[in-house]
Structure formats: C-alpha cells, structure tokens
Amino acid sequence: MNQSIKPGDNPDLTEERLSGTFDTNSMAAVIYGSDKLAQRRREISEAVSRIPELQDSKPCPFMTREEKILEGSRKSAILNRLLPGLIDLDSFEETVFIHQEVIGIEGHPLALHESLFIPPIATQGTDEQQKKWLGRAQRREIIGCYAQTELGHGSNLRALETTATFDISSQEFILNSPTITSLKWWPGALGKSANWSIVIANLIVHDKNHGPHPFMVQLRDEKSHEPLPGITVGDIGPKMAFNGADNGFLGFENYRIPRENMLMRHSKVTPDGGYIRPPHAKIGYSGMVRVRSRMAAEQGLFLAHALTIAVRYSAIRRQGYLEDRSREVKVLDYQTQQHRLFPSIARAYAFIFCGFETIRLYDQLLIDVQNGNTSGMADLHALTSGLKSVVTHQTGEGIEQARMACGGHGYSMASYISEIYGVAIGGCTYEGENMVMLLQLARYLVKSIEMIQNGKSKNLGPMVAYLAANESEIDLNLGPNEYLKVFQYAARSQAWRATEKFQKLRNSGMSKEQAWNQASVELTRASRLHTRLYIMSTFINHVGSVVDQKIKKVLIDLLNVHITYEVMDIGIYVQGLLSSDQMDLIRNQLYVSLETIRPNAVSLVDSFQISDMQLRSVLGRRDGNVYENLFKWAKSCPLNDKDVLESVTKYLKPMMDKSKL
C-alpha cells in the first residue's frame, strides 16, 4: 500500500509503512488534484535522478552564497536545454515542480520569472504587448523580475514613490526614483540576473498622479548584461534564508521607455495624454491576488517538507521506555510528540486543499474579468489577504515545532528544517505584511456587518453570509459540520465585537483612522477566525468529495484531528456556546484522534512524495538510514578537510603555549 518501501530501508520505517491502511499513490492524487499530475511528479523525479549533471555538486549547507547562486544558474541553464524532453512546457505546475526538484527552495535566477514576471504580461498586457514580449519570456530569451516593493514602502502601494511621467512630445515615460526610500528593494533575480522587469510606478500624466501602474522596463543590455544608462541596480546582500537568489535594489534617473511599455490591457494612456481608467479600482492588484491565491498551497508544501522530516525521524528515533523495558520506544509513540506533529499534518493537508480551491477561484475570476465582470475582485482580494496571513503564520509555527520535535539533530543543518523555516517564514512579509493583510480583510468584514445593520443581508457574499445567522444548538455527535458551526459562532461573535468597538469609538468623536487603530487588535482577531473558518470549511468539503473509501476514511480521521484541535485552540471565543462538558468531550476526542492517526502517520507524509533530492535532509531520508549518513555528512564538512585549522595555529595554540607554566 505504501509505495515508498524498498529493500535495505531502516526496519523501523518499513514497519511504519506496512501499518498504513491506504495507497500512498492514491493519496498523492488527492493531494495534488489529479492522478495525472501526481504521476507526472513521480516521473519527473525519476527522470531527474538519472541525470548526473542535475545533482547537487555538494550539500547546500556547505556552499557559500556565491556558490549557491552559481549552482542555481548552472542548473537553470542545463534545465533550459533539457526541459522539452522532461516536462510539458505548457504546464505551469510541471515547470514549477521540476525547478523545486532540481534546484530546491533556496532560490535561483528564474525563481520568480515564471510566477511574477510572465503572468502580468499575460494578464495585463495587450495582445500586441503579449506578441512582443510573452514568447521571448517563455523561451527565456530574457530573464525578468517584478519590482514593486521599495526601500521605504511595501504593503502600502499608494505610498510608493517611483514615478513614470508621460512626455507627450517624445511619446515616452520618464522613470525616476526621487528619494533614497523610493529605490526598489527585494525583487528576486533583480540583483545580478534579470535584464528586464515589470516595474510598478506612479503614473503621472499632465501633472496628475494616477497611482501605481505596471511598466515593462529593460534594465540591462542584452549582449553585455551591463546596466543601461540611468539604471542603478545591485544585490541587497545576504538574507535569513533564500540565499541562492539575488534579491536586488533598483533606481532610475530620468530613464526613458516608450509609451507602449506601459501594460495597457486595463488602464491606458493615449498618445495625446488621455487616461483611460481600468474597469475596477483593484484590477491592478490581480498580480498580487494571483500570488496570494497560490500561497496557501505553497506554504502547505513547505510545512509538508518539515513534517516529512520530523515524522520519519520520529519513527526511527528511539528514546525512553513505556511498558517494554527491553528496548527504547519510538518517540512517535509519545502522545506529546503526536500532539506536536499530527495537527500540523492536518493543517498541511488543509492548506493544500484550501490553496487549490483558491487557485480555482482566481482562475474563474480571470475569466470573469475578461468578460467584463469584476464583481468577485473585492471578495477574492479580501479572502487571499486573510489566507496569506494566517497560513504563513501557522506554517512558520508548524515548521518550528517540527524542528524541535527532532531534538538536537533538528538544530543541525543536516536536518535542513532551519532552511525550510527561513524560506517559508519570508511569506509573513512578502506580498503584504501580515498585520496589514489582516486589516484589509477586516475592512471587508466591517463593511459586511454594516450591510446587515442596514438591512441588506441579502447582498452578502457566500463567504460572509454566516455573519447574519443566529446561534443554534450544537450537537457535537453529528460530525464535522457541527464543529463548523462552533467556528462560525466564534468568527461571527468576534467580527461583531470588533465592528461595534470601532463604531463606538467613531460615535465618540474619534477620527476614522484613530478609531480603526484603537480597534485594530480586535479586528485582526476577527480576520484570523474568519480565515480559519474558511480553511476548515474547504477541508470538510474536500474530504466529502473524495470517492476512494480507504482514502476518505483516513482523511476523515485527519479531519477529526483538525476540527478538534482548532476548536480547542479557540476555546476563549466559544465560552458562551459550549459547556465545560462539551469542551472536555472535544479534548478527549482529540486524544482519540491522535491514536487513530498514529498507524498512518508515516504514510500520510510519504504521500506528499517529496524526493530525497528535493528534501535535502539527512534526518528525513526516505530509507530512514539516518545515523550512518549523519556521520558521512559531518565528515564532508569543509572544516574537516584539514585536521588543524589556521585559527588554531595562528591564535589558539600560541595562546595555550603562552599560558603554560
């Protein structure tokens, strides 16, 4: 049933896999949305494993930053040559996956080319602009990035300072970075690799500022790769993680681009200086909404990486005794270890399922926008703002718990969990700082409650209809939907509480901005609960749609872990709804659910089907042969190339010799 079993594996890990009750390939098909995509991932991994030049030249933790950038560039160039024979070039999923497989999570020159550079051309460029640039970008004749965030401003797009002033006489935009804080800062691949960029700048026509708009800008000469005159560009230096990517800075000084370089599918500037507004005020945010719509699934997979390592290692690590004193027990048998890891497994599945549903909503939104219907833009913008914040925060918590669950070895870079954490936790700030995102969702919730107060409940969107409902009796014996009602109660109560606090402050004479600030903590709490409610709802719906009964059975077990853990976590918000006896029942059900999941724990993480090449973890190896390979890994450390280091001969030995009597 578990397709990961092979001869020579650690017997403890094989024992775990034999205890699984479902087929891991079938579960992978559910995780990734189709049997075809899951199968293609396995085929790509297998094909890549047979190509020696795509393997790591040495373990990533032993590489300098320059070596990581060089390694990523080397592999990118090889992949570009081999891709037609390895993947379907029209498949975004296969393209992203093969780069994750070969280069990993630490970044490379094309890390954002597919996800942030090409999509704006495809969705915001005119047919003529797409004909001019899209093919070149897809063929990688050029390497692009997306330059929005500035040194002094990130989440507040309206405060961006870079300007693009239209010069009617020359039919050009003049780009300028008027202050030090207006330097573009953080775009991946900008530092040294990209020669083109989508640049977000304030559009100025006839001295009127029309706000941020996207422009296609050449940064470097395509032959020499030298920065063009008027361009200041470079790398911002090492980061907490993701150091295989050259995140950069960018400044403009009277840099001219043709009028046709403004992406004009929605907003337009005519040759005579006329400005045509987009059909929806937030349509320019579609690129950000696209990235945020994918973040839930991406973060779920980051969490899956860490959990695969922690669960596998917990199944072979033995420490202490329970009943049998003849042999130490697997640490995965301890309830504390299960409580630490199993709810995170449930969250990883929930995030991935929720992420794919949100991607579906975004794809539908694109179709609607193309047909002139922008009514869903505000709803999806609010939803993805909340998801981005909640999922990134909880993913960071889950990865750190996975690291600590590995004990001392989790602290070693041999586990690779610290790198996974460093890359994943960046999601809390890129594409919008989390608190700002929660407050954006809060505005949507407050607006919805004000509609209810004004007798317009019928106009509420389906995601907020529960805000107008009344409390009902809860019978926890009726299944997951009763737990959903508990969460609805908590989210509804908090949303009303936060809104009423804001309104009370306004009625007291406080300005709107001050009142919002004074109510902001309660408002962010409302946003978190609303988002977690959506995640739970999509998890329940997704499990309900599964046809394979063996898969459905274990997913129901995992769902039970999720709903009981999540409700226990918000106990303070449901004190008026649930009795102490009901809370005790939920707590006991959680412990029972942990025991139920235990035999399938390893198979559940194996189902993510993350190869050893992609995982890059000694602790999380598929074969479970950890200890001998930890020793092998340590011996390969460059510090061990010499028995005596210069630090000893130059400083420590003279100090010791001098101290001798």
Question: Annotated catalytic sites, by residue?
Answer: 431
Structure-token pair, residue 358: 């949100």
Cα–Cα distances (Å) from 580 to 568, 572, 574, 589, in that order, read 12, 12, 11, 14
Gyration radius of the chain's alpha carbons: 27
User: Would you say 188 is a known binding-site residue?
Assistant: yes
3-state SS record for 367-403: HHHHCCCCCCHHHHHHHHHHHHHHHHHHHHHHHHHHH
Q: Which residues pair with 144 in a beta bridge?
A: 196
> Pick from 141, 68, 62: which is nearest to 107 by CA?
68
Rounded to whole angstroms, how far apart are CA atoms 462 and 507? 30
> Pick from 266, 276, 272: which is nearest to 171 by CA?
272
CB 317 within 8 A of CB 329: no
Rounded to whole angstroms, how far apart are CA atoms 346 and 539? 9
Residue type, 264: M
CB 73 within 8 A of CB 108: yes
For residue 106, how far is the Cα from the chain centroid?
Answer: 14
**Within 10 Å of residue 273's Cβ, how many Cβ atoms?**
14
Query: Half-sphere exposure of 167 toward its Cβ, with a 13 Å CA cutoff?
Result: 12
Q: Which residues pair with 251 in a beta bridge?
A: 232
**Within 10 Å of residue 305's Cβ, how many Cβ atoms?**
29
Cα–Cα distances (Å) from 575 to 331, 456, 471, 524, 582, in that order, read 35, 29, 13, 20, 10
Torsion of CA 244, 189, 291, 150, to 10 degrees: 110
How many residues appear in the chain? Answer: 661
For residue 433, how far is the Cα from the chain centroid?
Answer: 13
Rounded to whole angstroms, how far apart are CA atoms 499 and 31? 37
Cα-Cα end-to-end distance for the chain: 69
Name the one residue in this structure whose structure tokens are 């349509």. Answer: 283
Contacts of 451 (CB under 8 A, 6+ apart): 457, 459, 460
Pairing of strands 208-218, 196-205: antiparallel
Three-state DSSP class for residue 44: helix
CB 8 within 8 A of CB 622: no
> Pick from 108, 32, 113: which is nearest to 65 by CA?
108
Structure-token pair, residue 611: 């190869």
Q: Is 452 exposed, middle or buried (0-12, 13-18, 19+ CB in 10 A)?
A: middle
| Residue 167 per-residue DSSP state | E
Annotated binding site: 149, 188
Annotated binding site for FAD: 149, 188
